Each structure stands twice: as structure tokens, then as C-alpha cells.
Amino acid sequence: MKIRSTILSLTLFPLLFILGSCISLESSYEGSDAVSSASWSDPDLGSDFEEPPLPAIREEGLTHQEINSMRVYRDNIRAIVNVTTVNLYQSRFAGTYSQEGSGSGVIVSENGYILTNKHVIANADFVVVTLYDGTTYQAKTVGSDAENDLAVIKFEPLGRSLQTIQAGSAKDLQVGQQVLALGNPFGLEGTLTTGIVSGINRPLQSADGFLLKGMIQTDAAINPGNSGGALLNSRGSWSASTR
């Protein structure tokens, strides 16, 4: 069954946010040292690091729309990251335990700035981003906006060349227009779903009690873990971010 979702317009970026959710998994461990800065060490990639190539598109027998979707995916997937968070808690009976969450993010600058949802990284003690090739980096929260469910996090690319998303405009989206969603639902990196814009200017009450206005509805499947990913138009421009 397809999941219908909504997106909200932003003032900081010409984008929209799609309603999705963040996976929450709980695990226990002994002592706070089990989750520390040493758990995810930044790799020493160097300036000559080269990402593995994407598989070639085999166009024979494919429709124009299929080929276009594949090209949009290839042109943008390296700008999508998995965002993993760890929250530490103290329990009288269980001692120290952790709660882990997973969402998505979009690389918006070559020096490691990422846009995601605030609820993805809310109250996190540790934030880790995983790039398309599986490389992990520690990240820090730069700022957040609870009213719009926005957050900016940053990691140090250590001389690595990063692919950034091609920004578009949410104002150009129309009902019936094809859209493509990129993210990491259920922790499955590099997932693409497609659909259309089903409606515009929808209101939505957020879990934090804010009334989100200017939401846009789509029938593209948005699953848990897609939060913070990208919604693209058929030209491959970033028109929205999944929420």
C-alpha cells in the first residue's frame, strides 16, 4: 500500500518537507564507554580519494521515463546520506542504555553541511552520517528550527570532494507533476521511489504542536527512515526534503 505524505514550505531554503518518520530502535549496553567518539572514527581519506563508479545505465528496452528516473537517481544519490543518532539514558534498573535512530540528510555544501529534519537529530548525544559508499563520519549539530522541523548538521570531509544537491524551487511544483524521492527508508541506503504531487497548500499539525502550513501532498512512498531525504522534480532539481 502506498503511503501518502505531505511536505511543508521552508523560508530558509526554496524547498518543501515531506511527512515521513524516523526509525527508533532501542539497545542496551554496559557503561557509557560503549558509545563514544571512538565508536565512529573519521577515516583519513586524503585529497586523492575516488568514489567507486555507479553502474552504467542499460537503456535498451526502457521507456524515456524510466531512463530519466535512472539518470536523476545517478546524478543525485551521492548527495544523500544516512543519519544515525544515539541518545544516552540512565535507568535505575538497567544502568546506562542507548536509543538509536535513523533518518536521511542532503549534502548542501562541499564543506560538509547537511540539511535534515530536527526530529531526526533531536536530543542526540552522537550523530553519525554515512555516505553513499558506506564511509562514516561524526557530525555535529549546527542549528535547528523546531517550528519548521529543520536542522543543519556538519561533518569534516577531510579533503574529500563531496557531491551536493542541485537546488530547485518548491514554488514550481504543480498537482500532477512527477516527483522522485531519495532516502534511506528502514536504513536501506540509496532508495528511490516515484509518484506525483497529489495536492498543495495542506495544513498539518506537527507532533510538537506547531501548525505547518503550505504542505504539499504526494503519493510517492515515504517510509520510516526517509525523513530528511530529498524530493526531486523530473529534471533532477531538489524541490523538497522528506519529513
- Catalytic residue annotation: 119, 149, 227
Of residues 82, 128, 16, 42, the one with CA closest to residue 226: 82
Q: Which of 211, 217, 224, 169 is nearest to 196 (CA)?
A: 217
Taking the C-alpha atoms of residue 29 and residue 53, their distance in angstroms, rounded to an integer, is 38
Angle value at C-alpha 83, between 208 and 30, nearest 5 degrees = 90
Q: Tell me the three cell numbers of residue 41.
A: 572514527
Among 80, 83, 115, 116, smallest CA distance to 101 is for 83
DSSP state of 32: G
Phi, psi of 237, deg, nearest 5: -90, 140
**Ramachandran assignment for 118, one of left (phi > 0), alpha (psi -120 to 50 degrees), beta (any other):** alpha
Torsion of CA 140, 35, 50, 152, to 10 degrees: -20
